[in-house]
Amino acid sequence: MKRNWEGLVLKAMGGRDFRLTVLGTESVDGHYQRLLFDDGGLLTAYGTHPTMWIRLWFDNGGRAHQRAYTLVDPDPATGRFTLEFALHDGCAANWAAAATVGDTIDATVQGSAFQLPDPAPEHLYLVGDAASLPAVNSLLDAGADIPATVWLEYAHEGEKALTPRARAHHDVTWVPRRDAGRHLVDTVREALPAAGSAHYWLACEAATTRDLTRHLRRTLGVGKHQLTSLGYWRAA
């Protein structure tokens, strides 16, 4: 399968390719497919960090199509990690649903870099959804001792099949997607306190992420070093 222009751009920007091998498959409540992979040397080459993600290359009717996925429980000692695929119509979901042990897929590492601030913030405020829940969970694991407030948007009940890794000092609220994301924006804006010694991490629909980022920066006065925001997907 020949790569498209995206593959050329990633290569020019220093992207490095690895061949992943499926080691195990598991259905999660019929809404997700969880695949265990051998990393093909990826973790040895790059190590790990919270919210670490890679790009997978799928065959979409003879054309290369790339999608980004967050690593779940990456283990450099064994060279293994898990990826979780939402099951809906599309070449990535179709590939994951049909994958069997021994299947391979190409992955590119380029652009993934995040570390929690040092010294650790007094509080984490995380806003995400089903797509970014693996990344949220990696932050809750990495900052296991840090109090956290989490809002997760969901479009239907099946999206809650994946479980937040919350401890006793982590407050998680699932928020239904309404009014093109406006309900999540209003819910979070009403609950966020004035800026303090905290870190804010936003990764949801692009317009929602922009709106909340603007509120944090302009209204609450959150500094750039306290804020990480990413538009994970874009509403049609």
Q: What is the pLDDT of residue 236?
A: 74
Strands (E), 61-110: 63-70, 72-75, 80-86, 104-109
In this structure, of 27-31, 37-41, 86-90, 173-177, the range with the lowest mean pLDDT score is: 86-90
CA distance between the termini of the chain: 28
Looking from the CA of 80 toward its CB, the CA atoms found within 13 Å total 8
Average pLDDT, the chain: 92
- Asked whether the predicted pLDDT for residue 100 surpasses 70, the reply is yes
Handedness of CA 3, 9, 41, 25 (dihedral sign): negative
Could you report the per-residue pLDDT of 189-228, keeping only the tens digit for each? 999 987 778 999 999 999 999 999 999 999 999 999 999 9
SS (H, E, C) 161-178: HCCCCCCCCEEEEEEECC
CB atoms closer than 10 angstroms to residue 52:
22
Could you report the per-residue pLDDT of 114-134, keeping only the tens digit for each? 899 889 999 999 999 999 999
In this structure, of 73-82, 157-166, 190-199, 210-219, the range with the lowest mean pLDDT score is: 190-199
User: Any idea which fold 123-233 has?
Assistant: Rossmann fold (3.40.50)
- Helix ranges (H only) for 112-196 are 133-142, 182-191
What integer is the mean pLDDT of 72-93?
A: 96
- Asked whether the predicted pLDDT for residue 82 surpasses 70, the reply is yes
Same fold, 5-109 and 123-233: no
- With cut-offs at 50, 70 and 90, classify the pLDDT of residue 112: confident
- With cut-offs at 50, 70 and 90, classify the pLDDT of residue 104: very high
Amino acid at 81: F
- Asked whether the predicted pLDDT for residue 30 surpasses 60, the reply is yes
- With cut-offs at 50, 70 and 90, classify the pLDDT of residue 2: low
Say whether domain 5-109 belongs to CATH 3.40.50.10490: no
Q: What is the pLDDT of residue 218?
A: 93
CB atoms closer than 10 angstroms to residue 88:
10
CB distance 170 to 150 below 8 Å: yes
Beta strand 32-38 with 80-86 is antiparallel
CB atoms closer than 10 angstroms to residue 236:
3
Q: Long-range CB contacts (< 8 A, 24+ apart) of 225-230?
A: 225/117, 226/117, 226/121, 226/195, 226/198, 226/199, 226/200, 227/199, 227/200, 227/201, 227/202, 228/114, 228/199, 228/200, 228/201, 228/202, 229/200, 229/201, 229/202, 229/203, 230/132, 230/202, 230/203
Sorted by where each begins, the domain ranges of the chain are 5-109, 123-233
Tokens 């479009």: give the residue: 155
What integer is the mean pLDDT of 142-158?
A: 95
